[in-house]
Structure 1
Amino acid sequence: MSSFWNNRISVSMFGEAHGPAIGVTVDNLPSGEYIDAEELARFMARRYSCGGQTAVNSMPHIMSGIFNERTTGTPLCAFLQNTDTSAPQHEETDNLVRPGHADYTGAMRYRGFNDVRGGGHFSDRLTAPLCFAGAVCAQILERRGIYTGAHILQIHNVKDNPYDPVNITRDGVLSVRMKDFPVINDRKGWQMIEDINKAYEGGESLGGVIECASVNVPAGIGSPIFDGLENTIAQLIFGIPNVTGLEFGAGFLSAKMVGSQNNDEFYVNDHGHVLTKTNNHGGIIGGISSGMPVTLRVAFKPSEYIPQAQNAVNYRDMTSETATSEKHIPCAIPSAVPCVEAAVNIALLSHMLDYPNFC
């Protein structure tokens, strides 16, 4: 099922862009876990702080699964009310397949019966329930010392400083996560904002790259072949709209290396822990965590919402038409940062449930 993800934890998302609400059900969470509502709200607010995400209330209504501020162990269900349920009702535009949108593929998949208003079930508004599920998982993980954070590595041609793949720490993760515009180098951040403003003025949109790191993930999490830790992360990451690429560790740069460069040499540190001197493997070898920071980068295409006339097709009568978006999103990368964190947190917690004495 396309909107149902199942591992040790299951996540099911529902709703459409202009429906009354969107929501999520998360099952198999450990019971008795304290969930801080204020921390949940802070995590959710990061998705709305930039990028124009204002269509749904940021704090969800929790229907089940939390009682007296603790998880019950039964399905956690929450929904977020849409504040904007109005959408143009024009039969001629309902059949229009627009560049960059999932109009045509969605119509083919669902035989034309899908809700097309604002993208329907394909809308980026569905990242709100994903963020809620990931925020809950983050609290459970952080209580056990596992922290995940992300930053904007690149927007268009402007690049931020990357994480140190070997020495990234909890404080390093949290310091960037607390920023309004999550970059390591603030000067680069201002350059990115200038480019976003130029794109807005020019009726364009920009893509980019988000880098994510998880620290204090113990060695031995995951499985080989089809249930690898990176497999699970990838499945959730590609559930975020506009994701076009994903790499772990050195990623595609490893194709330019020779074996002696790419191999991460092991050593024993002063505390008796087995580590590697470099981290080209991104904290995962053979689908299983190595104890090094888990590092990954996610590429996003530019938003499809630009106020420019573009060629489109009416697939009902097979005629050529012109489509112009009333909505303009010059850059969705900043609001996607917590979405990437959420996906990684869900994947990590799902695998951590197999770890001895985790709960």
Structure 2
Amino acid sequence: MSTFGNLFRVTTYGESHCLSVGCIVDGCPPGMALTEADIQPQMTRRRPGQSAITTPRDEKDRVEIQSGTEFGVTLGTPIGLKVMNENQRKQDYGNKTMDLYPRPSHADWTYLEKYGVKASSGGGRSSARETIGRVAAGAIAEKYLREAYGIEIVAFTASIGNEFLFPPTATHPTAATNPEYLKVIETIDRKTVDSFLPVRCPNEESSKRMERLVADFRDRQDSIGGTVTCVIRNCPSGLGEPCFDKLEATLAHAMLSIPATKAFEIGSGFGGCQIPGSIHNDPFIKAPAVPPSHSGAASSVPRPRLITKTNNSGGIQGGISNGAPIYFSVGFKPPATIGQAQQTTTYDETEGVLEAKGRHDPCVVPRAVPIVESMAALVIIDAVLAQQARAAARSLLPPLKQTA
């Protein structure tokens, strides 16, 4: 369906080439300062036309708040967010050849099989335009998480094709054991990530190699995939709803709902399957004092008494956050629409050749970075609100004798 979340619920609407796209956010806490200026930065990071290696579709993606605030403050009522599609070009899809063929690896055929009808241009709801509503809603969620808990969410490009920021090695089959990778997880911020545009890989040499690789595929009218890594810092312990809504399960659900995703791994991931438990286990140590920088509202948030010495678990154990940084990676396939002629079959089962038209990304990974951040924020705020409700209900009961 088109709704994500339980207590912080987001319903997105719109197709690739309709008049507007956007969302309704229900469950945002009241009393938070909120204007378009809080949302627009993430919209701008996601928008097309940012560089020579992204789609040339020229959309400003200006967000408008339609409801749910008054005098720049949230009311607790549904927040309506709208972005106009200003640079539609349905004519790119309205030719006889494109009408005859379901595009290889695109959603044309499966949407038709499911609904018996499909959008005539741009992929409709399967288009990345749908993610605008997610990013707008995620910006609202992020502001609450940042102000209430001091939570930071940062994503970056970890690989494109066979070019890696931290390639697996015999010594470090999983990046989780690589000190250089862990340093990035602990310190990376969005300003640093965006200083490596257009690729958003926080290493000058790797970034240049990735940019050249994407440009090569673009020039050959082809496409390439890659991975995005995301870290969530200062997340309180105790988040997640076992057994079926474990925190890593809801993160996986969120990430694999993003268009073009094909893989998800958290913490040590698949590489962690190659190392013994004696190395993979995360011993507990006493938590250090909260740094002075965590002041204001975030300073009142309970912090764990224990932390783990290592973090192969990726900040989650038993489906519940343990207070360590949560980090995971998301795999994106090569964009399905390419300019090369492809041997395929028409809707009426006749073999032929399709040469797709339109304006498309040769690699979606750099623009997926804010989308991954936004979906992470939607997962965490839902988990936070659930835990707040549980803690509030428990606080009304007589205290129990503690055994540990």
The alignment's TM-score, normalised by the length of structure 1, stands at 0.92
1:237-261: CA deviation from partner (whole Å, max 9, x where unpaired): 1121110000000011121122212
Of the candidates 119, 131, 136, which is equivalent to residue 123 of structure 2?
119
- Residue 362 of structure 2 aligns with an amino acid whose one-letter code is P
SS in 1 for 2:253: helix
Whether the aligned pair in 1 keeps the contact of 2:193 and 2:202 (CA below 8 Å) is no
The 5 Å alignment of 1:1-359 reads 2-48=1-47, 49-50=50-51, 51-52=54-55, 54=57, 56-88=59-91, 89-90=94-95, 93-111=98-116, 113-143=117-147, 144-161=149-166, 164-165=181-182, 168-169=185-186, 172-179=188-195, 180-181=197-198, 182-271=200-289, 273-315=305-347, 317-327=348-358, 328-356=360-388
CA distances 1:274-307 after superposition (whole Å, capped 9, x unpaired): 1111111111111110100000000000111211
Aligned partners of 1:175, 1:220: CA distance in 2, in Å?
30
Query: Could you give the per-residue CA deviations for residues 155-177 of structure 1, whole angstroms, max 9, x where no partner exists?
Result: 111111467447844x5234434
Distance 1:56 1:167 in 2: 32
Unaligned 5+ segments in structure 1 are none
Quote how far apart the aligned CAs of 1:202 are.
Answer: 1.6
Structure 1 residue 90: deviation in Å?
Answer: 4.3
Distance in 1 (CA, whole Å) between partners of 2:153 and 2:371 is 12
Kindly provide the amino acid, as one letter, of the partner of residue 44 in structure 2.
A
Structure 2 stretches of 5 or more lacking a match? Answer: 167-174, 290-303, 393-404
Q: Contact 1:173/1:213 (CA < 8 Å) preserved in 2?
A: no
Q: Secondary structure at the match of 2:202?
A: coil
- 3-state DSSP of counterpart to 1:219: coil
Aligned residues: 355
Q: Secondary structure at the match of 1:7?
A: coil
SS for the counterpart of 1:225 is coil
2:58 & 2:118 partners in 1: Cα distance?
A: 20
> Retained in 1: the 8 A contact 2:17–2:121?
yes
CA distance in 2, matches of 1:158, 1:233: 25
Of 47-56 and 27-36, the range deviating more from structure 2 = 47-56
Q: How far did residue 91 of structure 1 move? A: 6.2
What is the Cα deviation at residue 95 of structure 1? 4.4
1:165–1:282 contact (8 Å) kept in structure 2: no
CA offset at residue 5 of structure 1? 1.8
**RMSD across aligned C-alpha pairs, in angstroms?**
2.2
Quick one: which amino acid aligns to residue 126 of structure 1? E
Decide whether the 8 Å contact of 1:53 with 1:335 is kept in 2: no
SS in 2 for 1:267: strand
C-alpha spacing 1:309/1:93, structure 2 compared with 1 (3 Å): same
Q: Which residue of structure 1 lines up, in the alignment, with residue 299 of structure 2?
A: none
Structure 1 residue 195, shift from structure 2 partner: 0.9
Question: One-letter code of the match for 2:145?
Answer: L
Aligned in 2, Cα 1:206/1:92: closer, same or farther, shift over 3 Å? closer
8 A contact 1:209–1:297 mirrored in 2: yes
Q: Return the offset for 1:148.
A: 0.2
Instruction: Confirm or deny: 8 A CA contact 1:134 1:342 kept in the other structure.
Output: yes
The structure that has the greater radius of gyration is 2
TM-score, normalised relative to structure 2: 0.82
